[in-house]
Amino acid sequence: MTGPGSFEIRDVDLGGRIGRLYTRRGFIETPAFFPVIDVERQEVPVKGVREAGFTQVITNAYLILKRYGWVAAERGVHEVLGFDGVVMTDSGAYQILEYGRIDVDQETIIKFQQAIGSDIAVILDVPTGDVDRAKAEESVTITLRRAREAIGLIRDDRERVWVLPVQGGRYYDLVEISASEASKLSDYYSMFGVGSPTVFLERYMYDVVVEAVYRARKHLPPGRPVHLFGAGHPLIIPFVVALGVDTFDSASYILYARDGRYITEWGVYRLEDLDYFPCSCPVCSRYTPQDLREMGKVEATRLLALHNLYVISRTIRRVKQAIREGRLWEVLEETGRMHPSTARLLRLMVRYRRLMELGARRGGGRIKGVRAYSIESLDNPKLYTFREKSLKVLLESLKMLMPRELVVKPMTVKKEPSECEKEIVGSRGDVTAALYSPYTGIFPIELCGVYPSIQIDYPSNREPREVVDRLVEEIVELAKHASRLGVKVRLEACKKAEWSVAATLKAYSTLALEDGVEVEVEFKC
């Protein structure tokens, strides 16, 4: 069944999903960005929005009602905007956030969205913003009350996708309460939102936004799409997608342009500071920064806004391709090196590993090697899970098989499955053999060839000290466990690989000098 509100998940990596959200005007493919369109101030014509790659937009139903009245229902929102794609309408929550209140009640704005033919519509929620706890609690309480009151108005509405926003802001316990209560209404709301991030995004407080998304995502139905209101910067998009956000909207592209600001994947420039455009979109390929500075304000704003849309569109496509290939974590690592705020955010993403592990797999049924670069790569759920489970298997096998010897040897070159088979066949029954490498850690020789043991690329020959230190910790833990069981331990090192020599010598030093564990060391290759 693919009626309005149906959501098909077609591919997954980490918490990110490529999906199809069906509306009465067809489906939109997620992750998807909704550019905000102001009906009376469209510096970028809707044709330009489409050319930038967007078949969906969001506009403000409250402003349409104030400016056109109920006459707008005769034309419909699509004709008012001149846009034949999917139109999402907000109820006026942004105006509440800006001005504290609006002069319309929920029943009126819900019926108005129905009358103008919105494809995706939002109830009249009360956004939290950056307020004290008492006001945050009030926003959660009122929004949930209105969500329950609205059921009578939307229960039989099969033409629209209705969105229930989750509130709470930086009070994460309130976010969890809001999301938990909202999930109980999933029979009536086929889409959920996370509200009020704009004030935090403007200050690059990405950690607040991401934590709120995580707290909400834990409680929302996993099969329903999640919208993040007000998120429109390329730096934040990969992180929120990795935690399960499917759609988002923002007016950032035009607001930045009006202020002469130029968006890139790694930050924002002022037009007056640019000598060259670091982009090859249709705008940047045709004009120079000097050209825009010399033209009129209206035209320069239009071109800047159009460029900003192309950058957001490019980011969405990059994230989708990463999901298809199972490389979304690697995109997080790359984005984490683009700005101080995302560098901090990348370090925090380890908190959400368990949620992301659910979707950590090979993308699209195609085996893609994991790319590892630094200490942050060890938090890639694919690698972390493999290391954790492999070490556990080794520890258990020592206990069950009680071999006479444990050989721990480096895997210094990328092996083929056939080479793994030779090593496995060549191992003796009284010897347990384990392989180790910087990013996969230690794993039983029998797992050689199992993804991602040999499906990994990393720079060699010298690895970051932190990565080698983590490997040493695992070698020491395994050797001490074997020693307690009376198993002889032999560590092998490859003289051609600095990381192997460093790890072996440090592990030997720790075991022999600090822990009093007898181990043999052998240098090969």
Q: Which residues are catalytic?
A: 90
First to last CA, the chain: 60
Q: Mind giving me the DSSP string for 216-278?
A: HHTTS-TTS-EEETT---TTTHHHHHHTT--EEEESHHHHHHHTTEEEETTEEEEGGG-SS-S
Asked whether 208 and 194 are in contact (CB, 8 A), the reply is no
Q: How far apart are CA 380 and CA 441, in angstroms?
A: 13
Taking CA 436 as the corner, what is the angle to CA 433 and CA 438, rounded to the nearest 5 degrees?
A: 175
Q: Mind giving me the DSSP string for 45-77?
A: -HHHHHHTT-SEEEEEHHHHHHHHGGGHHHH-H
- The b-or-e profile of 92-127 (16+ CB within 10 A means b, else e) is bbbbbbeeeebebebeebbebbbbbbbbbbbbbbbb
Token pair for 426: 């060549």
Q: How far apart are CA 349 and CA 242, in angstroms?
A: 10
Q: Kindly tell me the sign of the dihedral angle through the C-alpha atoms of 310, 346, 353, 457.
A: positive
Other beta carbons within 10 angstroms of residue 429's beta carbon come to 8
Q: How far is CA 36 from the centre of its chain?
A: 21
Q: How far apart are CA 3 and CA 131, in angstroms?
A: 39
Complete edge-to-edge strand list for the sheet that includes strand 7-13 = 7-13, 16-23, 26-30
Long-range contact pairs involving 74-80 (C-beta distance under 8 Å, separation at least 24): 76/116, 76/117, 77/116, 77/117, 77/118, 78/117, 80/39, 80/116
Amino acid found at 328: L
Token pair for 469: 């230190």
Q: How far apart are CA 32 and CA 425, in angstroms?
A: 50
